[in-house]
Amino acid sequence: MRTFNKKEKLTITETKKLLAEKTALLAMWECESELGQTYKTWYPALIRLFKNVLLFDPRLRKFEYGPKNMKKKFLDLISKNKPDYVFISYGAEETNIQVIEEINKISPNSKIIIFSSDDNACFYEIFRYVSFFADCVLVGQPDYLPVYKKEGFSNALPFFITDTETFKPLNTLKKHDLSFIGHPNPPRVELLKFLIQNGIKVNIWGKGWDDYKEFKNFYKGPLKTEDFVKGINETKINLGFTKSSYGPPHFKGRILEVGACKSFQLVDYFKGYLKYFKEGEEIIMFKNKEELLKNIKYYLSNEAEREKIADKMYKKVIENHDITNCLAKSFQEILQNDNNFSRKTFPKINKKILSISEKDVRDINRLKGRIRSCDYIKFSFGKNTPLSYKDFFQIYSLEKTRKEISCCDSYIHSKLLGRSMRFRSLPTLKILKEEKFHELLNINQLMVSKKYFLENIDSFLRVFKGDKLDFVNKNNTAFVSIPLIQIESYNKKAINGLDYKSLDSAFQLNFLMELYSKLYQRKILNSYFYSLFVESIFNNNRYLLKYLMNSFFSKEKWSKLMEKE
CB distance 425 to 409 below 8 Å: yes
Q: In the predicted model, is pLDDT for residue 94 greater than 80?
A: no
Q: Which residues pair with 217 in a beta bridge?
A: none
Tell me what pLDDT residue 28 has. Answer: 94
Please list, in sequence order, all residues whose beta carbon lies within 8 angstroms of the beta carbon of residue 210, skipping any fewer than 6 positions away: 219, 555, 556, 559
340, 375, 403 — which closes off a domain?
340
**Residue 393 sits in the same domain as residue 530:** yes
Tell me what pLDDT residue 247 has. Answer: 67
**Residue 306 sits in the same domain as residue 248:** yes
Q: In the predicted model, is pLDDT for residue 440 greater than 90?
A: yes
Distance CA 328, CA 340 (A): 17
**Residue 406 sits in the same domain as residue 547:** yes
Q: Is residue 167 part of a domain?
A: no
**Residue 539 sits in the same domain as residue 472:** yes
Task: Specify burial of residue 338 (Cβ count, 10 A radius: 0-12, 13-18, 19+).
Answer: middle
Please list, in sequence order, all residues whose beta carbon lies within 8 angstroms of the beta carbon of residue 384, skipping any fewer than 6 positions away: 442, 444, 485, 486, 487, 488, 489
**Residue 107 sits in the same domain as residue 204:** no
Mean pLDDT is highest, among 182-196, 209-223, 300-314, for 300-314
Q: Is residue 262 part of a domain?
A: yes
Q: Is residue 386 part of a domain?
A: yes
Distance CA 479, CA 425 (A): 8
Q: What are 230-264's pLDDT values in tens digits?
A: 999 999 999 999 887 666 889 999 999 999 999 99
Tell me what pLDDT residue 564 has. Answer: 39
Tell me what pLDDT residue 2 has. Answer: 44
Confidence at 406, pLDDT banded by 50, 70, 90: very high
- Work out the average pLDDT over 171-184: 94
Q: What are 36-87's pLDDT values in tens digits?
A: 889 989 999 999 999 999 999 998 898 888 888 899 999 999 999 999 999 9
Q: CA geometry: angle at 224 spanning 221 and 228, to 5°? A: 80
CB distance 452 to 440 below 8 Å: no
DSSP annotation of 214: G
Confidence at 525, pLDDT banded by 50, 70, 90: low
Listed range (18-22, 158-162, 501-505) with the worst mean pLDDT: 501-505
**Residue 72 sits in the same domain as residue 188:** no
Report the number of distinct structural domains present in the chain. 3
| Enclosing domain of residue 541 | 364-559
Read out DSSP for 276-332? TS-BTTTBEEESSHHHHHHHHHHHHT-HHHHHHHHHHHHHHHHHH-BHHHHHHHHHH
Distance CA 469, CA 319 (A): 54
CB distance 180 to 254 below 8 Å: no
Q: What are 283-324's pLDDT values in tens digits?
A: 999 999 999 999 999 999 999 999 999 999 999 999 999 999
Q: Is 91 in a helix, a strand, or coil?
A: coil
CB atoms within 10 A of CB 345: 8
Mean pLDDT is highest, among 56-65, 375-384, 553-562, for 375-384
Best CA proximity match to 448, nearest among 495, 398, 497: 398
**Residue 108 sits in the same domain as residue 187:** no
**Residue 388 sits in the same domain as residue 334:** no
Confidence at 526, pLDDT banded by 50, 70, 90: confident
Tell me what pLDDT residue 555 has. Answer: 58
Q: Is residue 1 part of a domain?
A: no
Confidence at 565, pLDDT banded by 50, 70, 90: very low
Average pLDDT of the chain to the nearest whole number: 91
**Residue 151 sits in the same domain as residue 218:** no
Q: What are 105-143's pLDDT values in tens digits?
A: 999 999 999 999 989 989 999 999 999 999 999 999 999
**Residue 127 sits in the same domain as residue 180:** no
CB distance 23 to 44 below 8 Å: no
Listed range (84-93, 104-113, 373-382, 408-417) with the worst mean pLDDT: 84-93
Q: Is residue 401 part of a domain?
A: yes
Please list, in sequence order, all residues whose beta carbon lies within 8 angstroms of the beta carbon of residue 424, skipping any fewer than 6 positions away: 409, 481, 506, 507, 508
**Residue 294 sits in the same domain as residue 217:** yes
CB distance 111 to 341 below 8 Å: yes
CATH code of the domain covering residue 334? 3.40.50.2000
Q: Is residue 171 part of a domain?
A: no
**Residue 215 sits in the same domain as residue 263:** yes
Please state, for a pLDDT cut of 70, what percent of the chain lies above it.
Answer: 95
Q: Is residue 565 part of a domain?
A: no
Q: Is residue 441 part of a domain?
A: yes
